[in-house]
Structure 1
Amino acid sequence: MALTWSRKRMSVRFKNRILVFGGRAMPKVTDAHLEARRQQILDAATECFARKGFHRSTMHDICQMAELSPGAVYRYFQSKDEIIEAMEEQGRQHSAAVIDAVTSERTETLDVLEGLVDVFFSKLEDVRDCAVHIELWAEALSNPKIKQTVVRIDESIRNAFIQRIVSAAQHRGEINAALDPDAVARVMMAFWDGLVLQKTLDPEVDIWKYVAVMKAMIGGTFWQKTEAGRS
């Protein structure tokens, strides 16, 4: 056996075979590649949770759905709990970005609320996403770690809603200042939470008819006076 050294590589000659231990530097893995792989795993987990539920889905199922080896998946996430935390954080970032974008483009509170409704409720057309939300909420009831994550993310989104929209609108006199800002935010967010459940149970629910009713309620056109003499 002979060793061959060079500045660029080291090889071992053994029984007429050369095993190369070095050579050209391995290509650097870009941040974009790492993020794409991470998203690939999250998408696979979402599909698994929607099809089989959180408890029946295993890390092995997620590996198969992602078409990745266990080693590749565990490099990013050590457990399903970590995957859920990543999903929730991704949802928080998306919600914050939507609130920033809509409040930057619109000034009147009613326009802002209608813009937020259009964006957030459009996501509910995907029944799979609705089912995953139900799974996460159910898991939060029995898993303290997941509950802490869900509550923290929900609180973060609610606080952003209060600070960027509710409090400012109350200061301008557009929303009743006597109402508790946190309660206002919770009720508005409950519209979305409620439809998630309804859409999961009945996929035929028409999202946009629901949106029309919600806009009528927040815009003041829900109640209509009857004509004189009309029963």
Structure 2
Amino acid sequence: MTSFSNLSSSIATLVVGSEQRLFAAHENILCASPFFSNALRKLYTDPSTKRISLPEEEPEIFSSVLEFMYKGDYFPRLVHNKRRDSWELEPINDDDRKTAESTVYHRSVDGDLLKDTVIYCAAERYGLDELKKLSLRKQGLQSGIQCSTILASARYAYANTPETDSKLRAHYLALIIRSRSTFKRSGTMQLEMFNGGTQLFFDLFVALCNHVDDISSVQ
């Protein structure tokens, strides 16, 4: 929860995406992010209007980032199932189902990506480590995602995280290995590997080798 003092600070306007959707946020809330703190301090835009432009950001993603900065989570929220002692995504009613879709259209790839992956990469840009942890946990709870979406999201994760940040990359490597029977039959996977050109497939090769080595050592 945010404090009263945070909510009494000045308001900044954020202009998001190619359609220039407007968002408003308290400066003290934004300053929890090194990215926005720096933007407000240097006043990248008109200092009298306190406007920050984010033309490459997706409004739907930024809305979730802002929700996290105010509330510590984003929809659908993470809830603890005491009976199972496990974390789950909150139940969704029919009215909220469209809002809670696990994928989001992203202009940069002209296709769908796993929403939690895009949020993770946004959290990386904005320096929000707790949001990275939360979005990583949430995408581990997603199921029924198409192979093409998984691969596109993996490519996006590799392109938008530093090599030193291995957690999201490891998530995708493990996911592909667990679903290897499906991916072996995937024409999308075959085309992806034919085109190549990313670190993803070498990392996947190494991970598969390690997986086979582990099985061999157990036997």
More strand by share: 2
Q: Which has the higher contact order (CA 8 A, sep 6+)?
A: 1
Return the structure number with greater helix share: 1
Same fold (TM over 0.5): no
TM-score (norm 1): 0.28
